Structure 1
């Protein structure tokens, strides 16, 4: 588990820090060890706007901030809103406590006094232009999803409200439970029961199919971005392992964090997804589409089954070598098309199996179905599902069944 934690912390070198979204977990867990890709996509969105408009927006930024600022509203040096428990926003949201903090801002638990005192999660974005623009992009996606799923049939988090508070974009969400990663962590990385994985997989796949049907790719699916609606549990002592183990009462989940979601017609940046859940076509710079979400879901499901991340690395070539050890050789045609020529030698992955890294991969990784803990039908079906999701060629990647 120490290796697990060190690896998760190391991702901060690659990408901005993330927070635990809209979840009661964050106050206990602090910042996420894994991180998120974001600035690249938002830079590309800004690049599509005219240069003059961008310069004009930048010139107005300081004026807007000083115009909206009052003596009682202040920011810290990083652009975070300075607040205290009991503060009221818009004479409606009373801040209770901080749930989490990240590169984009903070998430706080609030009492919504306009909704019978309901508890909500309020995401308060930094008062900085690039983060404000990124937040408005997320608001657009969330508004679209809300209109498409007014009956809440799909397991996607719902935005309840949003507003601009003295230069800080604030987004209100339903308050959910722990993220699936946090639950694993607090349960000593004990795998989820197979029946819970089946239930969670159904909801995740159904939600992702809903996104894809509406021409939207999430691009950052990972256990941190899948939250339990209610993470209450029963506790039981395991005498063999000499520790308490938690079992969820309700495995219902919701997908969160649409800050990096991309429509089909939008510019696709070359790199998407958090490292451990990144599809091979993204690593090989072959372009990507909805299939990168499918790969990520496959990685998530096997993590739920094992209790730990399958591909623990921060080196792209080693990542590809791990894939080959688990899933077999990468197809020659994909290696011939990649722009990353340093990964290829004579139409094969340029990988030295006798190096220290090569020996590590061979020792610690094995073919996919060798990870099965039982030959039972449920286990076999789960691994058949994961195998179909973790397909090298995006052209052949589809969800293997229609949950609707």
Structure 2
């Protein structure tokens, strides 16, 4: 089966201008500097000359797009409590793009909502999965655009060192700093400086010192290569469009790690530094590893290649399906894996971060060891996992709510309809992707098997309608892709070759159910709630945590 190739979006950067001497100032400068040089050569004391007048102030004013920062002594407290299950709290903050960058809002410290301990909190730490769900860090303050907002913070990152200095996680109160920059400008300045450093480094296809790149910009390496006199390459784990992943031994502690080596190309290097920022923020917020997000151990630059060190995980859920002849997971296995992923993505959403690229390839088993068991009904041997612990990986396309949102995100087969129709997107696009993933776990195959050669978005929409019903007219009326629409309906020929392909390969959602048992009914109800066309009606990740499908896990934990 063909799989999807990753798409990577390179973040933009800004530049700054500088001042200069005018004509009069140049004359003054020449008169002043010539006697100084002559006097110095003769060993005489240079004459004291009045400094040249400063250049006239510019009449251009700089307007900041963010609100005034609070004073250093100002403190912010979380006042609202976590909404109860079924409270109907939804995020109606879909948008298209941001023309202005707002300051990064504070990712909450432990206990900020109602005093319960969040990640890293020392008191009241949840002792069960259900309690941990309630203690997810959140921020209930609202801005005018509908997004949650809070205090500003800065993350200290030094591009010349491999480790990130982690500030200690404090109590419920957070103090704003009037001198702190918003993340957007702070990140932009750091990205600009890193760009200036990277442009001086070599391009791909050339040698620099002991490092050599291939024609595509990948680093050429052999088994036994040691990076930074610490990480020894043992084997290759995989290769993507912009990076290779190798297995290494950390000589400092003998631990096996995964090392992601980014291509030595400017746009990929900039994207990698953005990923590092997100990973550092996740590490700071979840220092006790309660949420299923991959942990970055450190990062460094090796001759223009950004190298990110991760904990070593097992196979991806897609690779396990592939090695197991695409035999679907059982409902009970899906329940355990889905709960971990939903909880992890809910953690991201509460901290105003959208993953944007959820798919089975980006959900990895912590340990993919298995045992072979014979399935008498299917008359074949099957691989049975010994552990169902998973983690979400690949934050290269993750984006904070306040940052610019590109018009297209997600791998095609898991792309939400609002993205295809160019209606603007928000965190709800992750929920749609999660619904597609659950169906793929259940079926062993992709839900929307769009032709990979044509990449026809209209065909993708037609598949959605075949499985989920018609797209609401009010969404079709708002789309910029009016060539997809005719008479408030999708302009689609059901009798053409593509129409026949859709009818053959797709059927209504309920027809995919393999049993009418309660657990199957609950799973499909969750999937249908995640795949609502209208983002205002689509379930949120927080609401999904309290869906009846996950009730057995909460009951087992309480026992």
CA distance, structure 1, for counterparts of residue 501 and residue 212 of structure 2? 51
Q: Is 1:90 the equivalent of 2:228?
A: yes
CA distance 1:49–1:237, change in 2 (3 Å): farther
> Aligned-pair distance for 1:365?
1.4
Distance 1:57 1:389, change over 3 A: closer
Where in structure 2 are the equivalents of 1:1-400 lying within 5 Å?
A: 5=1, 8=2, 33-39=3-9, 42=10, 45-49=11-15, 61=198, 63-65=200-202, 70-114=208-252, 116-239=253-376, 241-313=378-450, 314-397=455-538, 398-399=540-541, 400=543
Q: In the TM superposition, what is the alpha-carbon distance from 1:307 to its structure 2 partner?
A: 0.5
Kept in 2, the 8 Å contact 1:138–1:260? The answer is yes
1:10-50 Cα shifts (integer Å, max 9, x gaps): xxxxxxxxxxxxxxxxxxxxxxx3222213xx2xx325455
After TM superposition, give the deviation of residue 80 of structure 1 in Å.
1.7
Of stretches 210-219 and 359-368 in structure 1, the one that deviates more from structure 2 is 359-368
Q: Using the TM superposition, name which of 166-175 and 230-239 deviates more.
A: 230-239
1:109 aligns to what SS in structure 2? strand
Per-residue CA deviations over 1:158-183 (Å, capped at 9, x if unaligned) read 00110011111100001101100000
Larger displacement relative to structure 2 (292-301 or 309-318): 309-318
Q: How has the CA–CA distance of structure 1 residues 169 and 59 changed in structure 2, closer, same or farther, with 3 Å as cutoff? A: closer
TM-score (norm 2): 0.63
Report the counterpart of residue 65 of structure 2 in structure 1.
Answer: none
TM-aligned CA distance change 1:317 to 1:51, over 3 Å: farther
Q: Deviations over 1:329-378 (max 9, x none)?
A: 10000000000011100000001111121122123211111110001111
Query: Number of aligned pairs?
Result: 368
SS in structure 2 opposite 1:35? coil
Q: 2: distance between equivalents of 1:322 and 1:309?
A: 12
Mapped partners of 2:480, 2:358: distance in 1: 25
Deviation at 1:55, TM superposition (A): 9.8
Larger radius of gyration: 2
CA distance in 2, matches of 1:196, 1:55: 46
**Distance (Å, rounded) in 2 between the aligned partners of 1:309 and 1:99:** 24
Which whole-Å CA distance do the structure 2 matches of 1:282 and 1:154 have between them? Answer: 27
- Counterpart of 2:102? none
Structure 2 portions without partners, runs of 5+: 19-188, 547-553, 555-559
**Structure having the larger proportion of residues in helix:** 1
Q: Is the 8 A contact 1:215 1:263 kept in 2?
A: yes
Give 1:79 shift: 1.7
Change (3 A) 1:170 1:51: farther
Change over 3 Å in CA distance of 1:219–1:51 after alignment to 2:
farther
How far apart are the structure 1 equivalents of 2:522 and 2:478?
A: 33
On the 8 A contact 1:69/1:166 being kept in 2, the answer is no
Provide the C-alpha distance between the structure 2 equivalents of 1:56 and 1:140, rounded to a whole number of angstroms.
15
| Aligned equivalents of 1:402, 1:48: Cα separation in 2 | 40
Q: Quote how far apart the aligned CAs of 1:199 are.
A: 0.4
**RMSD of aligned C-alpha atoms?**
2.2
Which runs of 5 or more residues in structure 1 are unaligned? Answer: 9-32
Matched residue SS, 2:544: coil
